[in-house]
Amino acid sequence: MVKNVDTAVFSYVKSIKDGSPLTGTKNFDLKEKGVSLATTGGFINDIQAKLDAATAQITSGATKIPTTVG
């Protein structure tokens, strides 16, 4: 798992530059490209198609991922 903190920082800096700073809480999830999978070394090549399909299901909203516990 990779947390793409650069995505959040870039979005925030861009919002300031554009004159409309982001405020409040913003989740940088899979759909917002705030997280990704490390693919170095080819260790997941055998399941990459399944991962891509799961990613598509999650980002389209077809599969709901809970964001809170309880």
pLDDT at 11: 94
Among 18, 15, 10, 17, smallest CA distance to 34 is for 10
Residue 26 covered by a domain: yes
Candidates 26, 3, 1; CA nearest to 11 is 26
Residue 47's identity, in one-letter code, is I
> What's the alpha-carbon Rg for the chain, to the nearest Å?
15
pLDDT at 67 over 80: no
* 65, part of any domain: no
Residue 70: pLDDT band (50, 70, 90) is: low
Residue 23 counted as domain residue: yes
Dihedral sign, Cα of residue 33, residue 35, residue 38, residue 39: negative
- pLDDT above 80 for 57: yes
Question: Which range of residues forms the domain containing residue 56?
Answer: 2-60
30 within a domain of the structure (yes/no): yes
The span from the CA of 68 to the CA of 25, in Å, is 14
Q: Please check whether residue 22 lies inside any domain of the structure.
A: yes
Q: Per the structure, how many domains does the chain have?
A: 1
